[in-house]
Structure 1
Amino acid sequence: MIEKEVNPHFESFLFNWKQKFQFLVGGYGSSKSYHVALKIILKLLQEKRTALIVREVYDTHRDSTFSLVEEIIIDLGLAHKIKCISSPMQIRFPNGSKIIFKGMDKPEKLKSINNVSLIWIEECSEVKYEGFKELIGRLRHPTLKLYMILSTNPVDEGNWTYSHFFIKNKGQDDQVIFLDDEELYKKRTVVVDDTYYHHSVADDNLFLPESYVQELEKTKVYDLDLYRVARKGRYGVAGKKVLPQFETKPHDQVMKEINAIYKPLYRNGMDFGFEDSHNALLRMAIDDKNKILYIYWEYYSRHKDDPEIADDLQEFVETKERIKGDSAEPKTIYYLKKRGINISGAYKPKGSRLQNTKKIKRFKRIVCSDQCPNTIRELKNLTYKKDRHGNTIYDEFNIDPHTFSAIWYGLDDYEVVDLKDKKETYKALQRLGL
């Protein structure tokens, strides 16, 4: 008989062995790692099993998972029965069960593992997706039921843990939803097929000092990304957003707002792609007075040659709408013009990426129709890249945003003049005596 006080939010998790995959995600200090370790110890006391605990780097086990398991064993008063061997790191139980520790930085060490029926991947977001799939192949036993437990602090939606357990290709035509992460944040525990999901935050750890929670709360003031991950335990976007003023609205509402603009300016911009990049054409409307950019239609394709693109854009032959395209593709522009499409190359001087980015950021609002899913996917969570020193690179992004390039080209002959620009213009005119 073992008596151990645990956090109530983890009670059902501790004794749930119904699902093969158990995915725990949460904020700092939520005690998810502690309860995973306790769960494994209790299981191995009951059944003779070999459990494998994995981290991306082997040497990080000693001060994390190994010391945690050892601490719990001592706390349970079982140190005289369960042996914690430090070199090589291993835990041996009196019934023949054992826990071995491995790192994905030494994959050759995994090949010698046999009859592993339980794997815990700690900080699984740090493990590469190929490594995760390799571990699934290592999970095998002739008679025992197999289990894999994964625990992590959430990172950004670009991480494989999000696309594998929540939403794959989010915002794209081939989007697949396994579980909407918002549903998990609301319900806290969810079961989908053979996967058990568990979400936790610092408030779920009743043994955590209040001062620690207060420190987590302070991150909201100076680092919203850290606050989202550490305090709220949620996936999202990591880094500084390029277009914080970007928003989406139902298509009918967008068109209603556009129709209410006094003399709206209409623009169309196109970026070209084929193999790794996409063709992106956007229809846009500008509220020049209020400095609002509306995006209300998109064309987005890949692996299409010039004739196929021209066929797709036949409506532009009939409407005669002007399109500004990437001048780096003169051959495609020439062909589309021959097919009757009113398209020309946009001005693209050196340094235009940075200048165009600054131009778009001057809009007070950027409103996108919900009928433009690829534009939303690329721009809603678009962030700046950082160099190896952590400095922001203001003309490079976390993805190659084809729709952003289409906006650049479409607004080639339009300048967003903000209040600061007007003041500078006024001062210049005064100096000239005008």
Structure 2
Amino acid sequence: MIEKEVNPHFEDFLFDWYQKFQFLVGGYGSSKSYHVALKIILKLLEEKRTALVVREVYDTHRDSTFSLFEEIIEDMDLSRKIRCMGSPMQIRFPNGSKIIFKGMDKPAKLKSINNVSLIWLEECSEIKYEGFKELMGRLRHPSLKLHMILSTNPVGEDNWTYKHFFQDRINKRYVLDDKDLYRERTMVIGDTYYHHSTAEDNLFLPESYIEQLEEMKEYDPDLYRIARKGRFGVNGVRVLPQFTKMEHREVMKAINRIEKPLFRVGGDWGFVNSYNAFLRLAVDTEKQILYIYWEYYKRGKTDDETIVDLAEFKNSGERIIADSAEPKTIKYFKKQDFNMVGAHKFPGSVLANIKKIKRFKKIVCSDACENTIHELEDLVFKKDKNGDVIEDELAIDAHTFDAMAYGLDGYEVIDLKDEAQKQARPTRQRPSGGRKR
């Protein structure tokens, strides 16, 4: 008989072994890792199993997962029965169960592992998706039920953990809306148990720690969302905070109301790992509003296949401004009677395009352009190793952003800062009654 005080929000989780996958996401100090380790110990005391604990870097185990297991074993007064061996790191139980520790930075050592029926991926968002799939192949046993536990602090929605366990907008794969999990706290979808936790769920945390988390709201909103709220989202400075989506019919109505609309088409080239992206744009030059109302977003297409897909442009004669980095492709399209030209590029053109597009008062995108919304709605700047924003680099290869920039080649958006400076300049009128010099 073992008595152990635990946090109430984790009580059901400790003894729930009904699903193959258990995904825990939460903020700092929520005690999710502690309860995963405790859950594994209880299971291995009950059944003879081999459990594998994985982190991206092997050496990080000693001061994290291995140390956590040691702490719990000592706290439960089990150190005389359960042996914690430091070299190599391994934990052995009196019934023959054992816990082994591996890192994805040494994948060759995974190949020798056999009969693993339980795997824990700690900080799973740091592990690559290919590594996760490799580990699923290592999870096998002739008789025991298989389980994989994944725990992490939330990261950006572009991380594989979000795409796999929640939704992948580009590939149109939907499993669960993460907002539902934040509301329900625990959910079961198919063969996956979901668990969300925050610092409030850890009754053993000092109030001063929670106060420190609250302070992040003032100086680092992104970290506050992750650490305090335990939620996925956008990490970094948004490139287009004025970006908004609208129902397609409403977008077309708005475009039809523009007195003198400027219509443009932009295209970016891709093939295997990137996409051919083409956008139809409409600019309200008076109100400085950019509308995106049509998209083409495909990869793995040869030029002749793309020509068939875009045949409507050949028929309409619409002018396409495309990435000039592919002059052969543009020449091929022109020979097929497409009205296509290459965008003008110059040193610093990337930054110039970013600044130009940011000057629009509003960017309205049709909800029919799903890939554009996915890339641009939460697009952020890349950061350097010090965490500072790189103002001419984006965090992802946003093909629709490039298509938009090429389509607007040659068009200048009014710079409100320059306009304000002009209006603030003193006039050259001579004061009344003044003497002419």
- Normalised to the residue count of structure 2, the TM-score between the two structures is 0.90
- Listed as ranges, the matches of 1:22-421 within 5 Å are 22-167=22-167, 170-172=168-170, 174-421=171-418
Cα deviation, residue 14, structure 1? 0.6
State the distance in 2 between where 1:369 and 1:8 align: 45
The secondary structure found in structure 2 opposite 1:199 is: strand
State the distance in 1 between where 2:429 and 2:357 align: 30
- Of stretches 144-153 and 28-37 in structure 1, the one that deviates more from structure 2 is 144-153
Q: What are the superposed Cα offsets for residues 326-363 of structure 1, whole Å, 9 maximum, x if unpaired?
A: 33334443443444433333322222111011100111
CA distance 1:108–1:417, change in 2 (3 Å): same
CA distance 1:210–1:389, change in 2 (3 Å): closer
CA distance 1:133–1:331, change in 2 (3 Å): closer
State the distance in 1 between where 2:110 and 2:274 align: 37
Q: What are the superposed Cα offsets for residues 378-433 of structure 1, whole Å, 9 maximum, x if unpaired?
A: 21222222334433322222222222122112212221113211134457896899
Question: Where does residue 9 of structure 1 map in the other structure?
Answer: 9
State the distance in 2 between where 1:306 and 1:39 align: 55
Q: What are the superposed Cα offsets for residues 49-86 of structure 1, whole Å, 9 maximum, x if unpaired?
A: 22222222222222211221122122223233323333
The one-letter code matched in structure 2 to 1:154 is: P
CA distance 1:318–1:97, change in 2 (3 Å): closer
The one-letter code matched in structure 2 to 1:128 is: K
State the distance in 1 between where 2:349 and 2:426 align: 27
CA distance 1:29–1:256, change in 2 (3 Å): same
Cα deviation, residue 2, structure 1? 1.9
Q: Give the paired residue count.
A: 430
State the distance in 1 between where 2:118 and 2:49 align: 8
- Of stretches 33-42 and 158-167 in structure 1, the one that deviates more from structure 2 is 158-167
Q: What are the superposed Cα offsets for residues 293-349 of structure 1, whole Å, 9 maximum, x if unpaired?
A: 111111223344444434333333444433322333344434434444333333222
The secondary structure found in structure 2 opposite 1:211 is: helix
CA distance 1:431–1:332, change in 2 (3 Å): farther
The one-letter code matched in structure 2 to 1:66 is: F
Kept after mapping to 2: 8 A contact 1:171/1:376 = no
Kept after mapping to 2: 8 A contact 1:115/1:141 = yes
State the distance in 1 between where 2:350 and 2:58 align: 42
State the distance in 2 between where 1:311 and 1:147 align: 48
State the distance in 1 between where 2:301 and 2:133 align: 33
CA distance 1:20–1:291, change in 2 (3 Å): same
Cα deviation, residue 153, structure 1? 0.9
Cα deviation, residue 364, structure 1? 1.7
The one-letter code matched in structure 2 to 1:132 is: F
CA distance 1:430–1:329, change in 2 (3 Å): farther
Unaligned ranges ≥5, structure 2 = 431-437
The one-letter code matched in structure 2 to 1:368 is: C
Question: Where does residue 435 of structure 2 map in the other structure?
Answer: none
State the distance in 2 between where 1:309 and 1:429 align: 56
- Of stretches 410-419 and 302-311 in structure 1, the one that deviates more from structure 2 is 302-311
State the distance in 2 between where 1:60 and 1:264 align: 58
Unaligned ranges ≥5, structure 1 = none
Cα deviation, residue 114, structure 1? 3.0
Cα deviation, residue 238, structure 1? 2.2
The secondary structure found in structure 2 opposite 1:298 is: strand
The secondary structure found in structure 1 opposite 2:373 is: helix
